[in-house]
Amino acid sequence: MTTPRQTTLHDTHVAAGARMVDFAGWSMPIHYGSQLEEHHAVRRDAGMFDVSHMTVVDVAGPGARAYLRRLLANDVDKLRTPGRALYSCMLNADGGVLDDLIVYRREEGYRVVVNAATRDKDLAWMQEVAAAHQGLSVTEREDLDMIAVQGPGARQRILPLLPGALQGPAAELTPFHAMESGDWFVACTGYTGEDGFEVILPAGETRAFWSALSGAGVRPVGLGARDTLRLEAGMNLYGTDMDETTTPLESALGWTVALEPADRDFIGRAALERQKAEGVPRRLVGLVLEGRGVLRGHMKVLAGEAGEGETTSGSFSPTLGASIALARLPAGAGERVQVEIRGKAVPARVVRPPFARNGQPVVDIPA
Amino acid sequence: MSNVPSDLKYAKSHEWVRQESDGSLTVGISEHAQELLGDLVFVETPEAGTTLEAGSACAVVESVKAASDVYAPVSGEVTAVNEQLGDSPELVNSDPYGEGWLFRVKPADSGELAGLMDAEAYKAHLEAEG
């Protein structure tokens, strides 16, 4: 086993009392004492995540647009102006999800942020597809770090700490918009369902920025709370809720697949059209547990005559005070299902995620 | 090193046992165990009247992260369970040796208690586990 890589902030995390774990080949903080308190900090005020393990890839050159329109299931032509962001899946020819990502349109070219766990596979695939395109550069930016600052109090705390040129305009950033100045890139995106920013910045400035955020009352948050926050927000985790064996249509991501215009031949298109015509056999849905227990991934779900499905990720939801999950169920499953927890069938209700947004539950909580 | 009260007995799987004046045994999980688990969100205790066999899984403690089995440190009949944990599983975190107790057993064989570790042996066990 190789030694896990360390982010710029590794020693800072350790000094703050973080419990470090190996995640996707990186040594990352799972929590800094209490995952629950970190979760609530983001829902109620402001928390920050070191997400420097994520992979930033710049796509530039006159061929960039045509390349991304071939590579991605969503259409970068929706990005009408520089400074706009789009969530998309990258598919294989069978329509299976290779990764999910965010692509930003810049003044010149595009910036793509993909997952850490899929870095090698993604870069190889992106280069392979790039080989068929002209006038294109695909460049990983290992010189940059990334910090996410999320929560209702995130915006007011982060603004004074940004480079001067960004302070004023960043105050006006709305979701899925971004701006940059020098090597600082600020986007109103995130993985929590709260207001906040993701900041991509030069590695040499990361420690000072993190420390300033901490001084402004922003609490460090580990990967543990990152997972419960994204689950409450109804956001898929790649490799857990979807992978190469599932299509976006089976992953509640049909809305991210741009089938119009019909002449855009993106990779995976034919397979998705075929699946759509034949009928999507499985759906990814939300579950709220109504009986006692805690939902986890890989639990069997009994959906009556529709058949059986499986939870893909589950947890106790700190915001709801109940247990929630994402589950892949056979088409035709009704609103009432049962989940097998240690041999017992426990009732659960099918809901449409998200479970929580902007600090509040958005589904009915069992009494 | 986490708190290991000297008046309790311990199992390798991190349960503690306290002998009560009526001869019954109270069972919980150690401070070290709750630290490893993190914030508890659900506790499933055995029902009163259940007969436990030493070493068998008899309760479940779940944190936000994961579920973990609790093993019966001794054999016997469950005489009481901590009903408070239904609404307040976090008591196991905040007071593992007090309000966070899990259940009480009427032991079937008093010799089993003597076979458990004392505080010194359990501390050595924690150090060995690193």
Q: What residues of chain B score a pLDDT lower than 70?
A: 1
**B5-B9-B13 Cα angle (round to 5):** 105
The CATH number assigned to the domain holding A352 equals: 2.40.30.110
Q: pTM (2 decimals)?
A: 0.93
Which of A30, A316, A342 faces B41 most closely, judged by CB atoms?
A316
Report pLDDT digits (tens) over A31-53. 999 999 999 999 999 999 999 99
Longest Cα–Cα distance of chain A, Å, equals 61
Which of A292, A293, A315 faces B64 most closely, judged by CB atoms?
A315
Residue A31 at interface with chain B, using a CB cutoff of 8 Å: yes
Of A149 and B67, the structure prediction assigns the larger pLDDT to A149
| Contacting B residues, span 48-67, partner chain A, CB-CB under 8 Å | 60, 62-67
Average pLDDT for chain A? 97
Cite the DSSP H helix spans in A188-256.
206-215, 223-232
For residue B64, the chain A residues in CB contact (below 8 A) are 35-36, 39, 224, 228, 315-316, 318
pLDDT at A124 over 70: yes
For residue A228, the chain B residues in CB contact (below 8 A) are 64
For residue A292, the chain B residues in CB contact (below 8 A) are 42, 44
Report pLDDT digits (tens) over A260-283. 999 999 999 999 999 999 999 999
Going along chain B from its start, the domains and CATH numbers come out as 9-107 (2.40.50.100)
Q: Do A213 and A307 share a domain, yes or no?
A: no
- The reported pLDDT for the residue numbered A68 is 98
Residue A367 at interface with chain B, using a CB cutoff of 8 Å: no
pLDDT exceeding 90 applies to what percent of chain A? 98
| CB within 8 Å of A54: residues ≥ 6 apart | A113, A114, A115, A116, A146
Chain A: residue whose CA lies nearest to B43:
A293
Burial class (CB in 10 A: 0-12, 13-18, 19+), B70: buried
| Phi, psi at A87, each rounded to 5° | -90, 135
Q: Which helix (H) or strand (E) holds A46?
A: none
Extract the tokens encoding A155: 């915006």
Q: Do A213 and A289 share a domain, yes or no?
A: no
Residue among B14, B85, B13, B75 nearest B45 (CA): B85
**8 Å CB contact between B4 and B31:** yes
Give the A:B interface size as CB pairs under 8 Å: 37
Q: What integer is the mean pLDDT of A323-347? A: 97
Quickly state the pLDDT bin for A111 (edges 50, 70, 90): very high
> Which residue(s) pair with A58 in the sheet?
A111, A139
Residue A115 at interface with chain B, using a CB cutoff of 8 Å: no
- The reported pLDDT for the residue numbered B88 is 95
- The reported pLDDT for the residue numbered B129 is 84
- The reported pLDDT for the residue numbered B2 is 87
Q: What integer is the mean pLDDT of A183-199? A: 98
Q: Do A235 and A351 share a domain, yes or no?
A: no
- The reported pLDDT for the residue numbered A1 is 59
pLDDT at A84 over 70: yes
The CATH number assigned to the domain holding A200 equals: 3.30.1360.120
**8 Å CB contact between A329 and A301:** yes
Q: What integer is the mean pLDDT of A46-72? A: 98
Distance, in Å, from the CA atom of A358 to the CA atom of B3, rounded to the nearest integer, reads 39
Q: Do A211 and A123 share a domain, yes or no?
A: yes
Overall domain count for chain A: 2
The answer to whether A35 contacts B60, with C-beta atoms less than 8 Å apart, is no
Q: Which helix (H) or strand (E) holds A325?
A: strand A322-330
